[in-house]
Structure 1
Amino acid sequence: MTDPSTTTAPEVPAIGDWNDRIIAEFRANGGYVPWSSEEEFAAGRPIPPRFPGFDEQGMPLILVHHTGAKTGRERISPLFYQPVGDGWAIFGTHGGSPHHPVWYHNLMANPQAVVEVGTHRVPVVARLTEGAERDRLWAKEVALVPKFAEFEAAAGRQIPVIVLEPVTEQ
């Protein structure tokens, strides 16, 4: 029998390392990121479970370049999205945390951003949805990814839905 005091948990890479890997894979695979390894799942990484309806290629992501509200430094967040007209809706689930994700605070403070979608970079403006628009987008996302409803219940807060609208040249 193994003595539990002598076993160690698998080493978990830092979130920055994980994001760097996701960003590199996104760029190498035209906007898709293969599902995480069994080791990452076992280590309890803050990654989504495999969602029904998405093949082994993984779930499409976008990379959102945003400016730090406090630091003013550029950050990049890989996020799930829902197409909305010419733009994209993103969801501040933060894996069911009671706190909004940092990228949410950054976009609310600095709504000018850039999105990498597939192999394209698009300047966007972030807008927080409310009321019927938020409810419609959220219901559609929960139908696609039921786990998001669990995240909202665990968080004890309404998950913000942000629409990233392309900046039109004038």
Structure 2
Amino acid sequence: MPNPLSVLARALGTQRWLMKLAKGIVWADTRLHRLSKGRVSLVTIAGLPSLRLTTRGRKTGVPRATNLLYYPDGADFVVTGSNWGREHHPAWTLNLRACAEATVLVRGREVPVRARELTGEDRDRMWRRLLEFWPGYAMERDEAGREFPIFVLTPHGGTPDRSG
């Protein structure tokens, strides 16, 4: 039986008004994630997979972190540059294009990853899978008027524990 909170979250994720709350949701999610040392986020409370991606700023080299919904694909994490339906790509996508090495914090465990951006048929196949996983991406794409970059983050140096 599906988690009722994740069913509710997926339904709410297709509502345009939710995008207007993005700033407040991101603020609360960041603080909750920080207080729990990466173990809890608003997304995980809703029964969905969440990670904190840390990239290096492409211009400054300074670590930049952001919380993201991810799609689990075997040992890999798949993330999408939806940016809540905004017209521009999120900074983390540009940072990953400049340097594919990053880290993710998942359930309190930091994992080094290497990013690979999907293109062509690989991207199209994954996009279909992502829409099944998170239907709100279609609405966000329409609002943004752009194609969302999709990255596969492959762990190296160990596989994260996905239980619980």
Pick the TM interval, shorter chain: 0.7 to 0.9
Change (3 A) 1:22 1:129: farther
Q: RMSD of the TM alignment (CA)?
A: 2.6
Q: Deviations over 1:51-110 (max 9, x none)?
A: xxx8x5443210111100111100111001011221110000001111100111111111
Do the aligned partners of 1:152 and 1:159 also contact (CA within 8 Å) in 2? yes
Please state whether the residue corresponding to 1:66 is helix, strand or coil: strand
Deviation at 1:13, TM superposition (A): 7.4
Q: Is 1:93 the counterpart of 2:101 in the alignment?
A: no
Identity of aligned residues (%): 32
Please state whether the residue corresponding to 1:163 is helix, strand or coil: strand
Q: Is 1:132 the counterpart of 2:132 in the alignment?
A: no
Greater displacement, 73-82 / 56-65: 56-65
Q: Structure 1 CA distance, aligned partners of 2:95 and 2:29?
A: 17
Where does structure 1 lack aligned partners over 5 or more consecutive residues? 1-11, 36-53
Do the aligned partners of 2:85 and 2:139 also contact (CA within 8 Å) in 1? yes
Q: Structure 1 CA distance, aligned partners of 2:80 and 2:157?
A: 23
Q: Is 1:154 the counterpart of 2:162 in the alignment?
A: no
1:1-170 equivalent positions in 2, closer than 5 A:
17-18=27-28, 20-24=30-34, 27=37, 30=39, 32-34=40-42, 57-168=46-157
Do the aligned partners of 1:64 and 1:79 also contact (CA within 8 Å) in 2? yes
Please state whether the residue corresponding to 1:70 is helix, strand or coil: coil
Please tell me the residue identity of whatever aligns with 1:84: D
1 or 2 for the larger relative contact order (CA 8 Å, sep ≥6)?
2
Please state whether the residue corresponding to 1:115 is helix, strand or coil: strand
Do the aligned partners of 1:33 and 1:59 also contact (CA within 8 Å) in 2? no
Superposition TM-score, scaled by structure 1 size = 0.70
